[in-house]
Amino acid sequence: MHFKVRAAAKEDCKEISRMIMELAVYENMPDQVKTSHEDLERDGFSPNPFYECLVAEVPDEHKTKDASSSLCVGGQDTLGSSTRQVKRLKCCPNDGYTVVGYALYFYTYSTWKGRSVYMEDLYVMPDFRGKGIGTGLMAKVAQVGVEKQCVRLQFSVLEWNKPSLDFYIAKGAEDLTAKEGWHFLRFHGQSLDTLAKEAPKD
């Protein structure tokens, strides 16, 4: 199947937002998505963007025949009891999608090695998997990273997500949590606010 990988434009944010939700459903965490496509537009397409994004699109003859995203409501709930918590997206054009995957990434910094690129999300719609689109998206992120003199690409995967784990390991990825014992920690919500209130005054 012929596909194209290109830099996302502001107009793609509705499609990206749809796919972000699809990925969250796949990861069993749909109620954790709080961003809207307007947030994505503001945060990715201002003079100081907080992320960059690539989209994969297929020509019109391959696009989905109908609203096949599990999130498209068309007036009725499609996810049963969990739908109330899921943002209901009325973004599906009647003639199907051309954007079928995305990779969202940003630049980070290692005090040991310098510039790095972190791939936050990589997603291809289920009907379009197994055709090299995920590989194509990731290869483009790698290419962008190399052009920007990044020394490595990092990302995180849920430990139960075997298809993704196999996909990445086949490409030379190393599991640093297993190999070096790194754990992700965070201060979120109340714990962040509590700490912030005790900060020294300016």
CA dist., res. 25 & res. 8, Å (int)? 22
CA dist., res. 50 & res. 179, Å (int)? 30
CA dist., res. 145 & res. 163, Å (int)? 24
40 or 125: CB nearest another protein: 40
H-run or E-run covering 13:
helix 13-26
Question: In the β-sheet with 52-57, what is the strand arrangement from edge to edge?
Answer: 4-7, 52-57, 99-110, 114-124
168 is catalytic: yes
16 or 125: CB nearest another protein: 16
Q: Give least dist CB 25 to another protein, A.
A: 12
49 or 74: CB nearest another protein: 49
93 or 182: CB nearest another protein: 182
Q: Give least dist CB 44 to another protein, A.
A: 8
- SS3 for 22-61 is HHHHHCCCHHHCCCCHHHHHHHHCCCCCCCEEEEEECCHH
CA dist., res. 152 & res. 31, Å (int)? 32
Q: Give least dist CB 94 to another protein, A.
A: 26
Name which of 129, 137, 125 is nearest 171 in CA terms.
Answer: 137
- Catalytic one of 97, 105, 123, 168: 168
Q: Give least dist CB 66 to another protein, A.
A: 25
Q: Which residues are catalytic?
A: 168
